[in-house]
Amino acid sequence: MTQYIPVTTCHDCGLLQQISHMPEDGAVKCCRCAATLRKRERVKPEKSIEHTLALVITALVLLAISNAFPIVQVDAEGHEMASTLFGCVKYLFTHDMVFLAGLVFLTTIGAPLIQLTGLLYILLPLNFKRIPPFAPQIYRLVRIITSWSMLEVLMLGILVSVVKLSAMATVAPSIALWSFALLMIVIAAILNDVDKEMLWGLISPDTKGRDTQQYKSGVQLTNCHNCHLIQALSAEHTSSCPRCMADVHWRKPDSLNRCTALVIAATVLYIPANLLPVMVVSSMGKTEGDTIISGVMYLATNGDLPLAIILFIASICVPTIKLVILYLLLITVHFKSQWRPKERTQLYRLTEFIGRWSMVDIYVDTLMAAMIQIQGLIVIEVGVGAVAFGAVVVLTILAAKAFDPRLIWDGMEKEK
């Protein structure tokens, strides 16, 4: 019997390669750019479904608790205030900040809810050896929405808000705060627990083993962007993935143009995001606006140096570094530069990893404004700068998603 060796193409550099040995609990890395090609988890495959299902149910219970109770209870001058996460979203919505309300809702409630219910829909029947209808499409949605779930960033935002609030009031953490912390850990465990290749094999048995079949030489092979199934492309360099139904392209279509447009839009909005106030405080008849920079300076000069450093990195360094890297990648790819392709690919991965952390400022502003509303004494509102800043964060995340890192390596190959 002929034994076929699995083949795959690297999602970051496009190199076609064989996986001759899969370590039991390790990761296989690309031999050219060191991207992780396959990862196998420590849990035994037959136990894996049951294990992940238990974690998903736990996470859903924690998500319900986190949203049912106020995040913190604030007592300022005898005025007691508390707000749930949904209360914060409602605050933004009723104050004409629909974009921010949508963004906060999507990243903290909507995305985790869709991610967890989607996994429950797939894993519960699988546990009883059944495949639910539309399982590949649902799993595809789960994988797309997962990148928009930002609970770990929200957790940092809550901690920063608690420290800031405790300077002006007595703050008591509630059950929802602990529940959020646990939820963050359980979701990280779920992401680490799911053996994606095994799950795809179970929900789409027809396509199982396709990575080990023999392809004629000269056929253009590529992996699906979503489920990573290897497939041959048509003469037009496109196909529809037989496993998750996503459109598969040789390279992301119009990658450079889309990425350039998004980066320019983000750069334009970066100016009002830094010049306009992100938070407006009205106290004793005086109204004062705080920009991102003045907020950080205020914290630094008032003895909250660790907090000032966190916000400086998340709100000033991260968006700036991200824009600089994206410009560097766009320019070098446009001129087909041969300069350090591996390092440029690593820079691309860095932009994907750090982008979400800028959301901290949005969460802090929202929580502070939703909590501190004592008419006649002190009222905090979210400033219009926060809307521009939120748009910068979203646009840079979309720009990084639009960029195809394989273009870095295409320039190298054509020159040879």
With CB under 5 A as the contact rule, which of the stretches 3-11, 80-88, 272-280, 388-396 interacts with Zn ion? 3-11
Q: Please return the burial class of 287, using the count of CB atoms within 10 Å of its CB with bins 0-12, 13-18 and 19+.
A: exposed
For residues 235 and 229, what is the distance between their CA atoms, to the nearest angstrom?
19
- Residue 31: CB atoms within 10 A of its CB come to 12
Q: Which stretch binds Zn ion (CB under 5 A): 96-104, 229-237, 274-282, 362-370?
A: 229-237
- Closest to 211 measured CA to CA, from 257, 242, 181: 242
DSSP single-letter state for residue 290: E
Name 317's Cβ contacts closer than 8 Å, sequence gap at least 6.
none
Rounded to whole angstroms, the Cα distance separating 154 from 321 reads: 21
**d(C-alpha 258, C-alpha 373), whole Å:** 42
Q: How far apart are CA 145 and CA 237, in angstroms?
A: 27
Of residues 13 and 156, the one with the C-beta less far from Zn ion: 13
CB of 242 to Zn ion, least distance (A): 8
Q: What gap in Å lies between CA 307 and CA 163, rounded to an integer?
A: 8
Among 28, 49, 224, 400, indicate the residue that binds Zn ion (CB under 5 A): 224
Handedness of CA 303, 304, 306, 312 (dihedral sign): negative
Backbone angles phi, psi at 238, to 5 degrees: -135, 165
Least distance to Zn ion, CB of residue 94, Å: 41
Interface pattern 74-93 for Zn ion (x via CB under 5 A):
--------------------
Shortest Å, Cβ 125 to Zn ion: 21
Contacts of 47 (CB under 8 A, 6+ apart): none
Residue 394 beta carbon to Zn ion: minimum distance, rounded to whole angstroms? 25
Could you say which of 7, 28, 35, 160 contacts Zn ion (CB under 5 A)? Answer: 35
Judged on CB neighbours under 10 Å (0-12, 13-18, 19+), 219 is: exposed
32 binds Zn ion (CB under 5 A): yes
Nearest approach in angstroms of CB 31 to Zn ion is: 8
> What whole-number distance in Å separates Cα of residue 38 and Cα of residue 195?
9
Q: Which of 7, 30, 74, 123 binds Zn ion (CB under 5 A)?
A: 30
Task: Report the residue number, 149 or 223, with the smaller CB distance to Zn ion.
Answer: 223
- Binding-site member from 226, 255, 315, 366 for Zn ion (CB under 5 A): 226
Count of positions on this chain that bind Zn ion (CB under 5 A): 15
Which of 7, 28, 33, 369 touches Zn ion (CB under 5 A)? 33
Q: Which of 38, 51, 243, 356 binds Zn ion (CB under 5 A)?
A: 243
Does 241 engage in binding with Zn ion (CB under 5 A)? yes
CA distance 128 to 338: 53
13 binds Zn ion (CB under 5 A): yes
Q: Pick out residues in 266-295 that bind Zn ion (CB under 5 A).
A: none
Residue (40 or 210) nearer to Zn ion, CB: 210
DSSP secondary structure letters along 330-375: HHHHHTT--S-HHHHHHHHHHHHHHGGGGHHHHHHHHHHHHH-EET
Interface map 156-195 toward Zn ion (x if CB under 5 A): ----------------------------------------
| Stretch of residues binding Zn ion (CB under 5 A), selected from 50-58, 186-194, 236-244, 319-327 | 236-244
Q: Which is nearer to Zn ion, 248 or 382 (CB)?
A: 248
Q: Shortest approach of Zn ion to residue 244 CB, angstroms?
A: 3
Distance CA 27, CA 38 (A): 6
Cα 261 to chain centroid distance, Å, stands at: 21
Q: Is 150 in the site for Zn ion (CB under 5 A)?
A: no
Q: Which of 53, 154, 158, 227 binds Zn ion (CB under 5 A)?
A: 227
**10 is a contact residue toward Zn ion (CB under 5 A):** yes
Q: Is 116 exposed, middle or buried (0-12, 13-18, 19+ CB in 10 A)?
A: buried
Site for Zn ion (CB under 5 A): which residue of 92, 244, 269, 326?
244
Is there binding between residue 203 and Zn ion (CB under 5 A)?
A: no
Whichever of 35 and 202 has its CB closer to Zn ion, that residue is 35
Q: Which residues bind Zn ion (CB under 5 A)?
A: 10, 12-13, 30, 32-33, 35, 224, 226-227, 229, 241, 243-244, 246
